[in-house]
Amino acid sequence: MTGPAQERELRRMLRRSWRLLALAFVSAFVAAAASMLYSNHTARESERKWCGVVSTMDDAYRDTPPQTPAGRKIAADIAQLRADFGCPAPR
Signed CA dihedral, 58, 59, 62, 67: sign only = negative
Winning range, highest mean pLDDT, from 1-5, 46-50, 79-83 = 79-83
Instruction: Decide if pLDDT at 64 tops 70.
Output: yes
Higher pLDDT, 26 or 45: 26
**How far, in Å, CA of 49 to CA of 86, rounded?**
11
Instruction: Decide if pLDDT at 32 tops 60.
Output: yes
**How far, in Å, CA of 71 to CA of 89, rounded?**
21
pLDDT of residue 44: 85
Q: Report if pTM > 0.75.
A: no
